[in-house]
Every structure is written in C-alpha cells, then in structure tokens.
Amino acid sequence: MSISDRENNYCIFLNKLGFGNSKDFSLFEMAMRHSSYVHEISIPIECSYERLEFMGDAVLKLIVSKYLYNKFPNYNEGILSKLRGEIVADKTLAKFALQIGLNDFILMSKNERKSGGEKKQSILACAFEAFLGAIYLTFNYSRVEKFVISNFSSSISLIEQKIDEINPKQQLQEFTQDISHTLPQYILVSKTGSEHKSLFEVAVYFDGKILAKGYGSNKKSAQQDAAKNAVTYLKNEGLWK
C-alpha cells in the first residue's frame, strides 16, 4: 500500500470515527510504526510509535482519572486507581484497537507479523495509545476526551459493576483508617465440614461492633466475603465515605 493510499485510508478512518479530515497524516503514520518495523527499514527508533505512545498514555490516564473523579465523589484514591487500572489495562485497550479496526494500519516487521504480532495485546494497546497521542496533537484534548468516553462507556459500565469485587478487604481497611486510623478485625466464628471440604464463617468487627459475616472454603475467602458484605452494609446505611 502506497503512502497516498494509506493517507486516503486514514482520512476515511478518521471520518468514520467522527474526527473529520486532517491535512497532515505524518503523526498517524508514526503512531502505527512498531519498533520492529523501523529497525527493518533502518530508520531511527524515534520514528516508531513509542514517543506518541508516551503522550497518548498520559492523555488517556488524565481523561479516565477526570471521569472517575467526577463520577465517584465518595471513592478514595485507592479505589479510583484500581478502577483506572482496569480501564486502561492492555486487554481493554487491545479490545478497542480491534473494535475500531486500528489493527489494519499497524506496521511491523515480517518476522513480528509471522510470530502473531498483529494479535498481541501489548502491541495493539501501545498502538491504541499512540493513536490517541496523534489525535491529541492533531486536534485537541476535548476531541480525544469525547472519543474516549463515548467509546469506553460500555466497558466502564461493566467495570463499575465489579467495583465491590475489587479487593473489598483493602476497600474496608482504607475506610476504617480514614475514620479512626484503625484496622477492621476478622474473627473466626466457626469451621464446619470435613478437612478437605471445610466451610469457614468469619465476622468482621470495627470499633467494637460487628459489621458483617462472611463464608468461604478457607479463612482468606471468608474474610473477603465478610469485607464485601461489610462494604455493602455501610453503603446501604449511608455510612460509606
């Protein structure tokens, strides 16, 4: 495919995504160059997507951080960081790269392609971040923000539904430390069943009061269940901060 053909395809691609035309496609071409490709054709590594990936990564984290900060005013830094980590993970970014058809533009060496490079999550994710960097430098921040939020909305919603599953013990610990600089206490209530098929019952206490109980096949899982139930209880009672 010639450069003019690629530029035409970039134009179609950007219009499809709602960005309109661009007079300069050099940044988008750079955003699609994997390091193996620039080595293969003997051009400087600075011509690969790595610098734009750096830019796109920063812009993406800012957009997602702002979104989560405004949407969840009662969540602390620890929980917000975990949510952001889920959203900007390679598996999520690779999914979106494939969803919008970005993989059709990625340039890599013949050997990298033979080894399945076009399907590697890391390459797809890096190319997606580089693409965001190119969009930011070509258009502006607000255009990138609108694109990210509108395209990530379904995944963000799915991740939001899992928030109580993101290490509830740590969530509860951060909550109690914020309140009184103390940790919740987990007390084993009972253990039933055989040695190979046990059921543990654990109660979690804070400030001398029981918050909830949990059950599991071992102490750790029972503590996690108790913490999850405690977080749910505190939220239902309007006590969660």
Please list the active-site residues.
57, 129
Identify the H or E element spanning 198. Answer: strand 198-206
The residues with which 200 forms a beta bridge, in sequence order, are 191, 216
Please provide residue 33's backbone torsions phi and psi, each rounded to the nearest 5 degrees: -95, 105
Please provide residue 235's backbone torsions phi and psi, each rounded to the nearest 5 degrees: -70, -45
Dist CA 112 CA 31 (whole Å): 17
The residues with which 213 forms a beta bridge, in sequence order, are 203
Dist CA 66 CA 148 (whole Å): 12
